[in-house]
Amino acid sequence: MREIFLNSMGGYGAYVWSAYALGFLILGLQVIGLKHQASSLRKKLSQWFKN
């Protein structure tokens, strides 16, 4: 598996896949953060209206 990962992409596999993995990780974390913030804001808002 490691060999396939490293030898793919004409020997540049380690660089290309790492770049895409990093890209997906950063964008994915950002989307998760956004969803999390949205739900906590909704809770905060409904709490504020109850009080």
Smallest gap from Cβ 27 to another protein, in A, equals 7
Site string for another protein, 6-35 (x = CB under 8 A): ---xxxxx-xx-xxx-xx--xx--xx--x-
How would DSSP label each residue in the chain?
-HHHHHHTGGGTHHHHHHHHHHHHHHHHHHHHHHHHHHHHHHHHHHHHHH-
Please say which residue, 2 or 10, places its beta carbon nearer to another protein.
10
If you count DSSP H runs as helices and E runs as strands, how many of each does the chain have, helices first? Answer: 2, 0
Which residues form the interface with another protein (CB under 8 A)? 9-13, 15-16, 18-20, 22-23, 26-27, 30-31, 34, 37-38, 41-42, 44-46, 48-49
